Structure 1
Amino acid sequence: MTEMATFSTDRDTVRFTGSLSLAKIGDLPERLRAFDGTITRVDLSEIERIDTVGAWLIHRFAAEHDAAVVGLDTDGEHLLAQVASADQPVAMRPAHVGSFIRVVGEIGAAVEQTGRTLYGLLGFLGATLIAFWHVATHPKRFRFNAVVQRFEVVGVSALAIVGLMSFLIGIVIAQQGAVQLRQFGAEFLTINLVGRITLRELGVLMTAIMVAGRSGSAFAAQIGTMKLTEEIDAMRTIGVSPMEALVLPRVLASVIMMPLLGMYASLWAIFGGGLLCWITLDIPPVTFIQRLREVVPITDLYVGLVKAPVFGLIIAVAGCFQGMLVEGDAEQVGTRTTAAVVQAIFLVIVLDAFFAVFFTSIGWV
């Protein structure tokens, strides 16, 4: 039968006997706190067993009296070492730092996190291109039905909201342009403004922002939920590549649908601008269309068509990348979904600025 834990003193040594376990410790902690002798060794050679609670008591007792612990077997020594390593002071309140240092630290942490995210995003883009190459060299692995389904989610289901948004934006551009140009007696230039800015910039850009908020967030939430429910791990177990089955169909659908949605949005914006010009400026639709053909160069259409698939690629990759990062709990799904939308919109705007500089440098103005 296991004995209760007890101890005895012998000159400069405290010798423990019995079981140093939670069930058998009894009043040993109180007796150890009351001990005020001078010792150099704690002898545990005669104990029957020791658990974490017992190891903590011995560690604290030996530390208070600056004594060495002897007599433990290998397992006991390992347990005592683990308890000793965990005995670290805990700061209940963070150390006070100056506002300037705190701000600089937060900026540095944000920059570091941004660098890590961009590095991971580039790596994920590379993995996506590798998956595309594998599918291109093995056409039987191409999931046509999955891509068509993504066409409906990314494109067809978005027609109503993209069309309404673009129509209203066209009206706003025409109205604001007409108000400003009327001061110079140049209301007719509203047609130039609506046609060029819609085909070249706002049609594709606003569509990309809408797709990022709608489809990019859906990609992150769907893949993130599958990650939490271990469906992605199950796919890897049965030999199915998540990049080919989940990521590639979404990327292809976004890349293909973005130029179509961009053109669709541009047409609705031009229609809205033309309608307002007809109502407020008395410019007939025939005149509006004829003037558009004269003042809008074909390069504006090319600019929009070049930018659209790149924006679609960025949106899909950002959404899928953040979905793949989900781990831990359901809260991560919301966090990663928000991050996917923010990153996609930010990268789209940054790329749009680079495209503007690039096309200006080659003469497409």
Structure 2
Amino acid sequence: MTRPYLTPLQTSRTEAAPGLRIGGDWTLPHYSHLEPQVQAQRERMQDEEPVDLRELAALDTAGAALLLELLGEWRLRQVAGQAELGEQRRALLLAVADAMHGNREAPAPAPPSVLREVLGHIGEAVETTWRHGQELLGFIGLTLASMLAIALRPARWRLTSLAAHLEQCGLNAVPIVALLTFLVGAVVAFLGATILADFGASIYTVNLVAYSFLREFGVLLTAILMAGRTASAFTAQIGSMKANEEIDAIRTLGLNPVELLVLPRVFAMLIALPILTFIAMLSGMFGGALVCALSLDIPPPLYLSILQDGELLRHLLVGLLKAPVFAFLIALIGCLEGFKVSGSAQSVGAHTTSAVVQSIFVVILLDALAALFLMEMGW
């Protein structure tokens, strides 16, 4: 049979030779002419009907895709085994069949269960928290080992770096810590006086302000401020060095990054946070004294005499003993998140945010546990 010029798709349905004979140029220029014929022929085709591709002339990927649509993947792979096709056309048909097999639409998934999604998110959060706890414990051990390694070697102490970080996280933080605790002390005194006045006990506002700042507010507010101010700075500094491959250069020079970058920051926080906590206590009580003098007619001499009658030393020691623990954890979390930075500005920002959130969470959690323990012990 001679192939017509304008009918690349040829079929022959006779009783002597039933089947489908395909010939002509199955290429992209003939696509618009072939597609309606393929659709019409596909509706009339039978599953076991033989297909003859011996008269097939030119073939490209567009024509192979139409053959796949006409015959289906299984029959196309079967027909591609005909010896008359040649290796190149057989490889083209099989490649198109493989490619189209991966692009077929998957069945729509079942609607997710709300309970399953909630439990999945809870599981992910627990797993993430557990992993962060393990990393923090490991980093604590590494830092303590480095501290012991240089404890008896004064030549390896980084005093210049310690002084610089002490100025950054200690001296420069005094104004914001003093101002914030002064305002909070004034607010606590005003609210306490408003409530206690209904019971005729306005004089106890002095004890309320003193005890709250000596035991809780002084160290807690200072630690939260340092978590947001200093832990983020530590993460950003070390993270930028990690992104710029400066930490790799430090290791190449034979230096220990923990000893060089972490220990000066940890020691600076251990020195600065207790001092800032004491300043916060004084500022908070001064704010309370100002409110008492202006609103409750309690002059400063009477305010001080009431303070002397209480057990201020015990409350002061409780607050100050929390400060080194908070300082150690805040510095370590900030440095650890800095070492986790991958190498992009987005990673630096993400880990900086994570350092602040983790530091504040750890500080509040430990403070709550310490408050419960001390209350049970009667301290």
Q: 2:251 aligns with which of 236, 242, 254?
A: 236
Tell me which residue corresponds to 1:208. 223
Deviation (angstroms), 1:91: 6.5
The alpha carbon displacement at 1:30 in A equals 4.3
**Matched residue, 1:343:** 358
Q: 2:194 aligns with which of 135, 159, 179?
A: 179
1:164 has 2:179 as partner = yes
Give the match for residue 101 of structure 1: 116
Pair 1:263-2:273 in alignment: no
CA distance in 2, matches of 1:258, 1:292: 24
Q: What's the CA shift for 1:31? A: 5.8
**2:64 paired with 1:29:** no
- Residue 79 (structure 2) aligns with: 38
Shift of 1:284: 1.2
Q: Is the 8 A contact 1:192 1:296 kept in 2?
A: no
Inter-partner Cα distance in structure 1 for 2:105 and 2:344: 27
The corresponding residue for 2:139 is 124
Q: Name the CA distance, whole Å, in 2 between partners of 1:236 and 1:59.
A: 53
- 2:332 matched to 1:329? no
2:163 touches 2:268 (CA, 8 Å); kept in 1?
A: yes
* Distance in 1 (alpha carbons) for counterparts of 2:324 and 2:94: 65
Deviation string 1:53-104 (CA, Å, 9 cap, x unpaired) is: x9x958635759xxxxxxxxxxxxxxxxxxx9xx697879876302221111
Cα pair 1:151 1:253 within 8 Å, conserved: yes
1:92–1:343 CA distance, 2 compared to 1 (3 A)? farther
Q: Which stretch of structure 1 is more off in the superposition, 202-211 or 117-126?
A: 117-126
For the pair 1:151 / 2:166, whether they are aligned, the reply is yes
- Counterpart of 1:275 in structure 2 is 290
Query: How many Å apart are 1:276 and its aligned residue?
Result: 0.8
Deviation digits for residues 286-318 of structure 1, max 9, x if unmatched? 111111011133111110111001011111111
The answer for the alignment partner of 2:7 in structure 1 is none
The yes-or-no answer on 1:60 pairing with 2:60 is no
Query: 1:317 is matched with which residue?
Result: 332
Superposed displacement of residue 29, structure 1: 3.0
Distance in 1 (CA, whole Å) between partners of 2:107 and 2:330 is 43
Q: Secondary structure at the match of 2:316?
A: helix
Larger of the two Rg values belongs to structure: 2
Secondary structure of the equivalent of 1:282? Answer: coil
| Amino acid across the alignment from 2:225 | M
Report whether the alignment pairs 1:110 with 2:151: no
Per-residue CA deviation, residues 329-360 of structure 1 (Å, 9 max, x unaligned), is 21111111111111100100110011112222
Relative to 1, partners in 2 of residues 1:296 and 1:95: Cα closer, same or farther, differing over 3 Å? farther
How far off its partner does 1:127 sit?
Answer: 1.3
Contact 2:181 2:280 (8 Å CA) reproduced: yes
- What is the TM-score when the length of structure 1 is the normalising length? 0.78
Supply the AA of the counterpart residue of 1:38.
V
Aligned to 1:77: none
- What corresponds to 1:360 in structure 2? 375
Name the CA distance, whole Å, in 1 between partners of 2:284 and 2:229: 20
Residues 220, 337 of structure 1: 8 Å contact kept: yes
* C-alpha spacing 1:245/1:90, structure 2 compared with 1 (3 Å): farther
Deviates more, 1:314-323 or 1:92-101: 92-101
Residue 232 of structure 2 aligns with which residue?
A: 217
TM-score, length basis structure 2: 0.75
Mean Cα displacement is larger for which, 174-183 or 125-134? 125-134
Do the aligned residues in 1 keep the contact of 2:80 with 2:93 (CA within 8 Å)?
no
Q: Distance in 2 between matches of 1:245 and 1:92?
A: 56
TM-fit CA distance, 1:282: 0.9
The 2-side partners of 1:123 and 1:259 are apart by 25
Local SS of the residue matching 1:283:
coil
Aligned residue identity for 1:330: A
Q: Any stretches of 5+ residues in structure 1 without a counterpart? A: 1-13, 15-25, 48-53, 65-83
Aligned to 1:326, the other structure's residue is in SS state coil
User: What's the secondary structure of 2:128's corresponding residue?
Assistant: helix
Distance 2:303 2:199 in 1: 20
Aligned CA distance change for structure 1 residues 96 and 139 (closer, same or farther; 3 Å): farther
Q: Is the 8 A contact 2:64 2:93 kept in 1?
A: no
Alpha-carbon displacement from aligned partner over 1:151-189 (angstroms, at most 9, x marks no partner): 001110001100000110110111011011101101110
How many angstroms apart in 2 are the aligned matches of 1:338 and 1:137? 36
Structural RMSD (CA) = 3.1
- Compute the displacement of 1:361 (Å): 3.2
Deviation at 1:125, TM superposition (A): 1.2
